[in-house]
Chains A and B, each alone.
Chain A
Amino acid sequence: MRWVSAPPTGIKQVLKEALKTKTGMAAVIILGMMIAMSLSIPMYSPADFVKKWNDLKAWYENPSLAAPVWVKWFTGADLPETIDLKASHFRVDEEEISGHHITTYTAYFRYSYDDYPSELKAFIKADIGGKPVRLNIVFVRADGEEITLFNGLLSSNELTLDLSLDPKLQKSLARFLYEKTGAIPEVIRPEIVLFSKSLSQRIENAASDVLKGRYMVKFQLISDRKISAEPRFIIYGKVFGLAGTDLYRRDLWLGIIWGAPVALAFGTVAAVTTALLQVVIGAAGAWFGPKWDELVQRLADFLLIIPVLPILILISVIYRVTIWSLLGWVILFSVVGVSSKIARSITFQIREEQYIEAARTYGASKTRMLFYYVIPRIMPFTFALVALSVPTYIFLEASLSFLGLGDPELPTWGRILGDAYSAGALYQGYWWWVILPAFMIMLVSLGFTLLSYAFDKIVNPRLREE
């Protein structure tokens, strides 16, 4: 009798073998990328990222619904990025005229993009000591036209002017346009009026119409005392980062890289734990006698036919699930299953081997034989199954998050997709919000599927690549 070399047992050995196949290589590259992504998180994101992700006020510096930066390469137009004029950009001039302190903050910036900005905001922080102060904000276009953005009293220590939606500014812009062209357009969008080349034409969101050049923003505080202030002016762009932003201005790239460790951890922990449990319980059932076997196998049949997703939906409607309690539920519903059946059939084979009889003779206990002789021989057969079931669990988590029933704190790919869906991202053309997280789910699934093929080839030598 010629013996085929023994199937590999250790995880190390199987991984080493897996690397030799082409599919194994591809899988390792994809999954390695995911892992590198997860490991790079501390470099990108703040420690309290999860909290920040859920705090919608924390993202005000980013443009809303901006496409990824690399879209520029495909459109050919130089799409605007955000220009953030912070306090340090402003030159401070102080003068005193008849008892009035006038502090002027002036900042210049060059605008040479091919498209209009998406939004304008002015901020000011000043310690006014409870007494209102007069504030003027003046915008000077590249062609020298001067437009007053704000003229009024600053009555609190902080002021945020949402210029794109400010009705007063709309009125003053209407007046300005009427003086220049003799007509008032139906819709006045400040970010267009302030940056458009020709005021006499009908103002449209046309890329060719952008006035390029040196612009100026001036904050002027007039008071009877000396006041120091921190002005800020943000000209929001239309592209942002590697993955764009969502409706809530969140940097989707951060969400996507944060989704990687969550998906990897959830998928692998769920798959490995359930596989281990299923194998041990299935083998133990077959090993300790027909009654246990019957119990285990019928339970496995039961758990295999009940629909897990609807039950999980019910559970997450009733209880508030976190990613960990979700993991617990998933494991509970797969405590026995397909791997138990595989383990059972292999145990029946091994049970009849002579080395088991020998072990029995030299007094190994049943439990020892089970864990030392039987289960190590079953493990390799489940590797492929484990790798294949990782994407299943990732999909499961994504489905629940998509339905808004997943972990309410963690940014996951499913949750990003769910947010996109409820914001109607696809109808509105915010494709990056949908495609990137979906692509990541697909990529990670592909990685694990390829890995399972590679494992399959090792433990099933008939499939070996020549």
Chain B
Amino acid sequence: MKNILTTKDLVLYYRTSRGPVRAVDYVNLWVESGSSLAVVGESGCGKSSLAYAILRVLPRNVHTYKGEVLFNGINLMSLKEEEMRSKIRWREISMVFQGAMNTLNPVIKIGDQMVEPLIIHAGYRKEEALKEAGEAIRNVGLAEYILDRYPHELSGGMKQRVVIAMALLMKPKLVILDEPTSALDVLTQANIMNLLKDLKEREKLSYIFITHDLALASELADAVAVMYAGKVAEIGSAEQIYGDPKHPYTKKLIGSVPTLRSDKTLEFIPGAPPDLVNPPKGCRFHPRCPYAKDVCRREEPPLIKVGDNDYVACWLYGGE
């Protein structure tokens, strides 16, 4: 199948007083058209930065930003900011931000904020845009009167649905979901996940689903990319990653997922994620890896093909 989005050696470093933070460090990944890719990893491993790098919404303290982001064959990096703003963002790629409660402006009514993209991009008049927004809000299972409410009058789940409806408003092809359910209770979470699955079927969407929750990712993902310290540790189909994880980090990660009412002792990974200003030489996981060899300490592993579409960045599966 054709890839809707491919990143090639995508780099995003932040400038700090201690030196550059390597939040996204030569990341290669791809999303097949109509499928969803889950990006999983611990907090602070560069997942959200990856989303910003793809959409080119950069904070002020960018140190380095390079590489290629191919969207349907177009390199987004070569587009002018204005083209990016008017043609790509929201029309082609939209995003659901982490923490819906903060994404909505507290002093503007839901309807008025929802129509913003329509007014800005499609040149709608307000009444038309509100009609469209009403449809979108029904689409995510909310009643239209919500449009007349302020954000603080809605529950967390409702706000999350509003934000999702907003992301789908311009009928984009790819939606980046950045921890869309992180602040919600499990039932609401399940609810939202079912909605996302449903929307994917109906609207033929592609997702990049960013989460730290492996179990949740398995619900939606066709493919999974495991990130560690700004790099992709392993990428492959969901069956492959969940059924037969290759990278020691992935193994440990899956082992640390709790199961209901079982006596299993949860695994954990000794040590802490590395400092992204001074990452360890060689494989970034080697200080915590039980299988670390000499080469791991010396050289960074490349992505090594281990299956049809499955790659792992680990010296255990090739090289020397």
Contact = CB atoms under 8 A, between A and B. Distances in A.
A58 interface: no
Interface string A87-126: 0000000000000000000000000000000000000000
A360 interface: yes
Contacts, number: 63
Interface in A316-371: 353-355, 357-365, 368
Nearest to B86: A363
Contact of B120 (A9, A354, A357, A363): A363
A6 B152 contact: yes
A373 B105 contact: yes
Contacts of B152: 3, 5-6
A83 B191 CA distance: 91
A376 interface: yes
Contact of A360 (B57, B102, B105, B108): B57
Interface in B76-101: 85-86, 89-90, 94-95, 97-99, 101
A377 interface: yes
B27 interface: no
Interface in B49-99: 55, 57, 85-86, 89-90, 94-95, 97-99
Nearest to A380: B107
Nearest to B55: A361
Interface string A370-407: 00110011000000000000000000000000000000
B103 interface: yes
B105 A355 contact: yes
B90 A355 contact: no
A354 B97 contact: yes
Contact of B107 (A9, A358, A360, A362): A9
A6 B106 contact: yes
Contacts of B86: 363
A354 B103 contact: yes
B302 interface: no
A163 B55 CA distance: 94
A8 to B, nearest CB: 9
A377 B107 CA distance: 8
A393 to B, nearest CB: 29
Interface in A1-30: 3, 5-7, 9
Prevailing SS type, chain A contact patch? helix
A364 B94 CA distance: 13
B32 interface: no
A365 to B, nearest CB: 7
Interface in B88-137: 89-90, 94-95, 97-99, 101-108, 113, 116-117, 120-121
A373 B106 CA distance: 10
B103 A363 contact: no
Contacts of B85: 363, 365
B242 interface: no
B32 to A, nearest CB: 24
A361 B97 CA distance: 10
B150 A361 contact: no
Contacts of A3: 101, 106, 152
Q: Which of B55, B105, B106, B113 has the most C-beta atoms of chain A within 10 angstroms of its own C-beta?
A: B105
Contacts of A365: 85, 120
Given A362-B89, A377-B107, A353 B121 contact: no
Contacts of B55: 361
Contact of B90 (A9, A354, A363): A363
A9 B150 CA distance: 12
20 contacts: A5-B152, A6-B107, A6-B150, A7-B107, A9-B107, A354-B99, A355-B103, A355-B104, A355-B105, A355-B113, A357-B57, A358-B103, A359-B105, A362-B90, A362-B121, A362-B166, A363-B90, A363-B120, A363-B121, A365-B120
Interface of B: 55, 57, 85-86, 89-90, 94-95, 97-99, 101-108, 113, 116-117, 120-121, 150, 152, 166
Interface of A: 3, 5-7, 9, 353-355, 357-365, 368, 372-373, 376-377
- 7 closest cross-chain pairs (CB), A and B: A354-B102, A362-B117, A6-B106, A355-B105, A362-B90, A363-B85, A358-B103
